[in-house]
A and B are shown apart, each in its own frame.
Chain A
Amino acid sequence: MLRTPITLLVAGLLAVAFAYASVLLDLDARSAAPWSLALGAAAVLTAMLQIGARRSGRMPRILGVSAALAFIALAGGFAYGLAAPAPSPAGPLLLGLPRVTAILLILAGLIPLVGLPTAYALAFDAEVLSDADLARVREAAAARAAKAEAE
């Protein structure tokens, strides 16, 4: 029944809600709001990837690992951006950008950008949609059409 991804989804949503509430209500915890929003957003997205990857209540291996790595990359990138000191005018550059910015973009942008489509394509036959899966769907569709015609 997808308990773990739904739990992660709710936890992520509550973290985002907490971030908004602490800013809206000007709570003492306001300084924690960006952290809460960063981790919450990463958790919500990861939970949705996990929910989408599940088949018959099981988490496929490649897609499951990919979703977990996506969380690490997103949360890690955002956390690094929040924790690192602000770039100075003469600070080091990486790939033509301030180093902090470049590392955030590599973690939250480049890694999922390359990794997720690659994992999806590699896992497609075994974990997304095989010929046998498609045959089952078409068989069910034919049975449904025949039943509707008979009625």
Chain B
Amino acid sequence: MIDLFGALQTAALPTVRQPVIVGVGIAYFLACAAIGAWAARRTRTSDDFFVAGRSVGLLPFALAAMAATLSGFAFIGGPGLVYALGMTAVFIILPASITNTAGAWILGKRLRLLGEMRGLVTVSDAIGARYRSPAAQGLSAVAILVGIVGYVATNVLALGLVVDAIFGVGLTTGIWIGTGVTLAYSASGGILAGIYTDVFQGLLMALASSLVFAFALDSGGGLSAITRTLQAVDPAFLGPWGTRGAMVALSLFFVFAVGSLGQPHIAHKYYMLKEARRLRWYPVLMTVAMLLAQLLFVGVGIAMKAMVVRGEIQPLVRPDDATPIFLLDHVPLFVSALVFSGVAAAIMSTVNSLLSIGAAAITHDLPRAFGGERRAPGADAAKLRRGRLWTVVLSVAAAILAQQSGTLVAFLGIFGYGLFACTLVPALAIGLNWTGATREGAIASIATGLLLTIAMETAAWLKLLSLPVGVTVSGLTLVSSMLVFVGVSLATRARAAAQLDDDVRLVMEL
């Protein structure tokens, strides 16, 4: 199987410290801080903090969703994988052809309407309302928290490496600078600040990626010339499945296509859209934004490989060096500066979204699941304070964790995506659309996904479990939890109708 540990950013990048890059980096961080300060003044309630007051327009909504979907992996690890594996790695982003629309089609409408109907603020809220089950809500919140801890730590480490590469301040200082800036706007302005920094960050990512793609094609004399160069030495590289073959490519496609419907930091954003009928144009906008932002993913990897084959550059020591070296050697300095800030932007937008849902899981879902929620006067102000406090606690914990061994952080991060997928896709993406689904099915599938992921990923990390090429823990746990969900729901289907409130049924039938 692909070494996804290697794809996670855990080793130092080449230092790129140059006055222009440092200057653009400082300007970028100041812009984020300014947007955060502006948003903080508009954050008065827990609704503002967790769901941006349900007031986000279509364009910022689409850009924010794109920015949160793409982490630094799209700019560093992804191009490195393309450099190493050719077309195989493209199957990580190919599912976007479906998922840009599937998110709105399968999840968006019903989550948005249910949010308006019930005043929901988290993805776990929707699970609780759908099945009338605090247990399902609490269990899904636990799964989200388990996934977030490692996911945030991995991203914070990557952010520290990027800050270190730009400013040359060392990894530890880089981690704290990156965490500090992200935390400043996340804790003060919550997701409202996150959304508007995402807009800025999303535009930066799309612009930077498009420019670099043009330079990448130009550097190799166009796509046809690059293809001919690569085919001469390795026809499989740009063959339909890349160097690792069909089983690996299709397995990546399956996990990333279906798994995208269970990513809580993306699904959560549907609550924030001001007007439900604006969803109509969301897939079109999301498609354009994602297409532009992912051009770099493909372009840099194949351009660098072609340069190595032509003998213009030495083979890379590590695939992850593909983007930094290409930027420094083949792109005007100002564009490089934009891209390095774009990488930081991609990471920070993901971290902000994850911190927001993590704080919401602790301050909202778990009290609701365990009966500790207060509805007294002043409770909302207290909830807002707790939200800010837990955002600080989670980010500081992630920053400390990120300084541990790279392998440990990679291990914690690797199962975040898979854990979200196998615990949330069945209960949320299928359950919100299938009236035959039951509470028992939801709880069984979440528990199955949670336990199997922890057990199998731990066994794999400890080298007690080794899977053959083409089989992944994420794929196995996703299939298992979905089959458990359908099977248990069918076995308990006599209870399905009684578990549905009338308003939830209305939303599901529209």
Q: Which residue of chain A is the closest to B103 with respect to CB atoms?
A: A52
**Cα distance A24–B473 in the bound complex, in angstroms:** 12
- Known A-B contacts A37-B251, A87-B239; the reply to A112 vs B507 at CB < 8 A is no
Chain B min CB distance to A74 (Å): 8
Would you call A101 and B94 a contact (CB within 8 A)? Answer: no
Would you call B436 and A1 a contact (CB within 8 A)? Answer: yes
Partner of A137, one of B227, B228, B506: B506
Q: List, in ascending order, chain A residues with CB within 8 A of B510's CB.
A: 55, 129, 133, 136-137
Partner of A129, one of B109, B283, B287, B486: B109
Would you call A110 and B471 a contact (CB within 8 A)? Answer: no
Q: List, in ascending order, chain B residues with CB within 8 A of A121's CB.
A: 280-281, 283-284
Would you call B483 and A108 a contact (CB within 8 A)? Answer: no
Contact code string B297-311 (vs A, CB < 8 Å = 1, else 0): 000000000000000
Q: Which residue of chain A is the closest to B507 with respect to CB atoms?
A: A137
Q: List, in ascending order, chain A residues with CB within 8 A of B228's CB.
A: 89, 93
Q: List, in ascending order, chain A residues with CB within 8 A of B226's CB.
A: 96
Partner of A52, one of B90, B102, B250, B435: B102
**Cα distance A117–B467 in the bound complex, in angstroms:** 37
Chain A min CB distance to B427 (Å): 14
Q: List, in ascending order, chain B residues with CB within 8 A of A89's CB.
A: 228, 231-232, 235
Q: List, in ascending order, chain A residues with CB within 8 A of B241's CB.
A: 81
Q: List, in ascending order, chain B residues with CB within 8 A of A13's CB.
A: 479, 482-483, 486
**Cα distance A6–B434 in the bound complex, in angstroms:** 9
Indicate whether A29 reaches chain B with its CB closer than 8 angstroms.
no
Contact code string A1-40 (vs B, CB < 8 Å = 1, else 0): 1100010011001101101100110100000011001101
Would you call A117 and B284 a contact (CB within 8 A)? Answer: yes
Partner of B238, one of A63, A101, A133: A101
Partner of A101, one of B87, B109, B257: B87
Contact code string A29-60 (vs B, CB < 8 Å = 1, else 0): 00001100110110011001101111111000
- Known A-B contacts A23-B247, A81-B246, A129-B277; the reply to A10 vs B470 at CB < 8 A is no
Indicate whether A131 reaches chain B with its CB closer than 8 angstroms.
yes
Would you call B116 and A116 a contact (CB within 8 A)? Answer: no
Indicate whether A65 reaches chain B with its CB closer than 8 angstroms.
no
Would you call A136 and B254 a contact (CB within 8 A)? Answer: no
Q: Which residue of chain B is the closest to A56 with respect to CB atoms?
A: B509
**Cα distance A114–B283 in the bound complex, in angstroms:** 10
Would you call A45 and B257 a contact (CB within 8 A)? Answer: yes
**Cα distance A118–B101 in the bound complex, in angstroms:** 9
Q: List, in ascending order, chain A residues with CB within 8 A of B251's CB.
A: 37
Would you call B102 and A48 a contact (CB within 8 A)? Answer: yes
Partner of B277, one of A9, A109, A110, A131: A131
Would you call B222 and A117 a contact (CB within 8 A)? Answer: no
Chain B min CB distance to A11 (Å): 11
Would you call A10 and B486 a contact (CB within 8 A)? Answer: yes
Q: List, in ascending order, chain A residues with CB within 8 A of B235's CB.
A: 86-89, 91, 98
Would you call A128 and B239 a contact (CB within 8 A)? Answer: no
Indicate whether B333 reaches chain A with its CB closer than 8 angstroms.
no
Contact code string A120-151 (vs B, CB < 8 Å = 1, else 0): 11001000110101101110110010000000
Chain B min CB distance to A143 (Å): 8
In chain B, positions 186-204 with a C-beta closer than 8 Å to chain A are none
Q: Which residue of chain B is the closest to A48 with respect to CB atoms?
A: B106
Q: List, in ascending order, chain A residues with CB within 8 A of B475's CB.
A: 16, 20
Q: Which residue of chain B is the closest to A101 with respect to CB atoms?
A: B240
Chain B min CB distance to A105 (Å): 8
Indicate whether B404 reaches chain A with its CB closer than 8 angstroms.
no
Would you call A44 and B105 a contact (CB within 8 A)? Answer: no
Would you call B246 and A98 a contact (CB within 8 A)? Answer: no
In chain B, positions 214-247 with a C-beta closer than 8 Å to chain A are 222-224, 226-228, 231-232, 235-236, 238-241, 245-247
Partner of A140, one of B224, B283, B483, B506: B506
Q: List, in ascending order, chain B residues with CB within 8 A of A82's CB.
A: 246
In chain A, positions 52-83 with a C-beta closer than 8 Å to chain B are 52-57, 63, 70, 74, 78, 81-82
3 closest Cβ pairs, A-B complex: A96-B223, A52-B106, A117-B283
**Apart from A24-B468, A51-B430, A84-B240: 8 A-B pairs, beta carbons within 8 A:** A2-B433, A48-B258, A48-B430, A52-B105, A57-B509, A113-B100, A117-B283, A124-B280
Query: Which residues of A are in contact with B by a Cβ distance under 8 Å?
Result: 1-2, 6, 9-10, 13-14, 16-17, 19-20, 23-24, 26, 33-34, 37-38, 40-41, 44-45, 48-49, 51-57, 63, 70, 74, 78, 81-82, 84, 86-91, 93, 95-98, 100-101, 104-105, 108-114, 116-118, 120-121, 124, 128-129, 131, 133-134, 136-138, 140-141, 144
**Interface CB pairs A-B, < 8 A, 12:** A20-B470, A37-B254, A44-B482, A48-B102, A51-B106, A87-B231, A88-B235, A95-B223, A98-B238, A108-B94, A117-B100, A121-B280
